[in-house]
Amino acid sequence: MDTDLAVRLEAFKWLAEKTQAQGEVLPRSLLQEGFIFEGNRVPLIGPQGIFKPKIIELPLTITTSPNSPYSDVYFKDHLKYSYRGTNPDHPDNVGLRKLMQLNRPLIYLYGTVPGRYLAVWPVYITGDNPDQLSFNVSVDDMANFIVEEGKTAVIYENDFARRAYITSTVRVRLHQHAFRERVIAAYQSQCSLCRLRHIELLDAAHIIPDSAPEGEPLITNGISLCKLHHAAYDSFILSVSPDYVIHVRQDILDEHDGPVLQHGLKDLNGNRIMLPHEIRNWPNKDALAERYMQFEQY
């Protein structure tokens, strides 16, 4: 097996191990550190969006940063990834074009908030648009990545339909993760009701559900809640009024149970939620009012 393909397989294996241990969103510091291959350190990210470690000749990762000057667009069946610069013959762009010709996979690092990335692999360059200064990128599944030494990769007709479907599902997952990361970061990585700071126990709760047309994945349509309070919020056991006050349902207040009910729910009644430092990230009052009207019906 050639070194290029061996490095890619090792990178996929390393990412699988790290995401299983640390979750799907990884810190930039870990990606910069990378892994060791035959005595060489192989980082997965660099200062540019298209990154090639020294050990191989073609790009290993493409990155979208939350603060990127490029405008990457998601279509139903693919991602449009911008060229590096405006020269189609820049070495980075030539490298991605070569990967497309070889049908060779790479890794997509999606920046959710500064310094944190969701890794998606394997992805393929499936189209080149010099007039738009962009490539088409599609996602596939490792189960369909078959390595046969000495044979050229072949693209079959059903590959296009499968990759289009997988890409569309991954697109939803990317937006969900970005929403979670941005909401939790806005609330300083703590539950806005109880101040719990264990990030693995925090969720980004939608005020207006994402299934509704107006349920946009914006920070102002979210509240950082621990899993207990997220479940209580979604079940209308408690709610938040437009003046940012917590209200617990009356039948819950009248109920007598153990300390979790008392301290975890009932004691919150009448308190104000903790708000983000930046006023622009505070929950939308109209959205809160709409949600609170539903709560009052219980």
Q: What is the tens place of the pLDDT at every residue in 89-120?
A: 999 999 999 999 998 999 999 998 889 999 99
Q: If you search the block for the tokens 């264990």, which residue do you land on?
A: 198
pLDDT digits (tens, 9 = 90+) for 38-84: 999 999 999 999 999 999 999 999 998 875 444 455 555 678 899 99
Please give the angle made by the CA atoms of 53, 55 and 57, to the nearest 5 degrees. Answer: 75
Q: Are residues 112 and 175 in the same domain?
A: yes
Beta strand pairing status for 61-64 and 50-51? Answer: antiparallel
Q: Are residues 84 and 34 in the same domain?
A: yes
The number of folded domains in the chain is 2
**Structural domain that includes position 156:** 3-183
Among 154, 183, 212, residue at a domain's last position: 183
Model pTM score: 0.72
Q: Are residues 52 and 176 in the same domain?
A: yes
Is 80 exceeded by the pLDDT of residue 166? no
Q: Are residues 116 and 228 in the same domain?
A: no
- Residues 61, 154 contacting (CB under 8 angstroms): no
What phi and psi values does residue 183 have, to the nearest 5 degrees? -65, -50
Four-point Cα dihedral 40, 46, 49, 51, nearest 10: -20
Peptide bond into 283 cis (omega under 30): no
Mean pLDDT value across residues 21-28: 91
Mean pLDDT value across residues 123-129: 93
Among 131, 154, 183, residue at a domain's last position: 183
Q: Are residues 32 and 159 in the same domain?
A: yes
| Tokens read off for 34 | 């990378």
Query: Any idea what DSSP says for residue 132?
Result: G
Q: Are residues 137 and 268 in the same domain?
A: no
Sequence-ordered list of residues with C-beta below 8 angstroms from that of 243, at least 6 positions apart, any chain:
272
Q: Are residues 201 and 171 in the same domain?
A: no
Nearest-CA neighbor of 32 among 9, 1, 63?
Answer: 63
pLDDT digits (tens, 9 = 90+) for 278-287: 999 999 999 9
Q: Are residues 130 and 196 in the same domain?
A: no
Q: Are residues 112 and 210 in the same domain?
A: no
| Mean pLDDT across the chain | 89
Q: Are residues 179 and 199 in the same domain?
A: no
Sequence-ordered list of residues with C-beta below 8 angstroms from that of 200, at least 6 positions apart, any chain:
23
> How many Å apart are CA 253 and CA 169, to the nearest integer?
41
What phi and psi values does residue 125 have, to the nearest 5 degrees? -80, 115
Among 183, 203, 223, residue at a domain's last position: 183
Q: Are residues 244 and 179 in the same domain?
A: no
Q: Are residues 154 and 219 in the same domain?
A: no
> How many Å apart are CA 281 and CA 289, to the nearest integer?
17
- Residues 208, 215 contacting (CB under 8 angstroms): yes
> How many Å apart are CA 59 and CA 221, to the nearest integer?
37
Is 90 exceeded by the pLDDT of residue 216? no
Q: What is the pLDDT of residue 156?
A: 55
